[in-house]
Chain A
């Protein structure tokens, strides 16, 4: 079983739609959960950062973490063509010998068409 699984898509939605992106993971030691956005041939850009379970909202973006199900989600409301990118989930554990190593999902390619 892969440590982090993410449906690569591609996902195509009309402008204004609500987008749901998801990742599952197997390592129960993961405590910190992130969503990155990556445009073609660019570096990942941090969108959301959450610790442990719960919800976090930032503008049109909401991140949810359900540690009991080992499942994280990113919701994008009122999606825009400029949201078209690859969305990467990433996670890390809290300590021990980990100095911040992130484990990434495969990335979901999202296209928002006008």
Chain B
């Protein structure tokens, strides 16, 4: 069964550093998403991406964050100048259509120290 692949599975970074989280969505999917889950809290929407541009973003997704699809397969989330409160599981997801169930990756656990 096709899956969404995320790397790395765990990233530890120092406060103030930049991190890039990587995702390979399912190949024939057109919509891409990033969500995050702080330990013990809800899964929260960050951003959706379609047709090579951001289609929607949440209040969390401020200038510290950016997304990119640098080639036909990868989808990245960059977090500049990380803060302690950015520590969370970050999930990438993709879907063939906006009105369809998503497939989530296994996540990247980001720890900011």
Contacts and interface: CB of A to CB of B under 8 A. Distances in A.
Interface residues of A, number: 26
A16 interface: no
B48 A41 contact: no
B99 interface: yes
B31 A99 contact: yes
B45 A42 contact: no
A102 B45 contact: yes
Contacts of B58: 101
A104 B45 CA distance: 9
B72 to A, nearest CB: 20
A34 B100 CA distance: 10
B50 interface: yes
A42 B106 contact: yes
A98 B104 contact: no
26 contacts: A32-B99, A41-B109, A43-B4, A43-B106, A46-B102, A46-B104, A90-B43, A92-B99, A98-B98, A99-B50, A100-B31, A100-B33, A100-B95, A100-B98, A101-B33, A101-B45, A101-B48, A102-B35, A102-B43, A102-B45, A102-B102, A103-B45, A104-B43, A104-B44, A106-B42, A107-B43
Contacts of A44: 43, 91, 104
Contacts of B48: 99-101
Contacts of B55: 99
Contact of B102 (A97, A100, A103): A100
A22 to B, nearest CB: 16
A9 to B, nearest CB: 13
A106 B95 CA distance: 22
Contacts of A36: 104
Contacts of B91: 43-44
Interface in A1-50: 32, 34, 36, 41-46, 49
B109 to A, nearest CB: 7
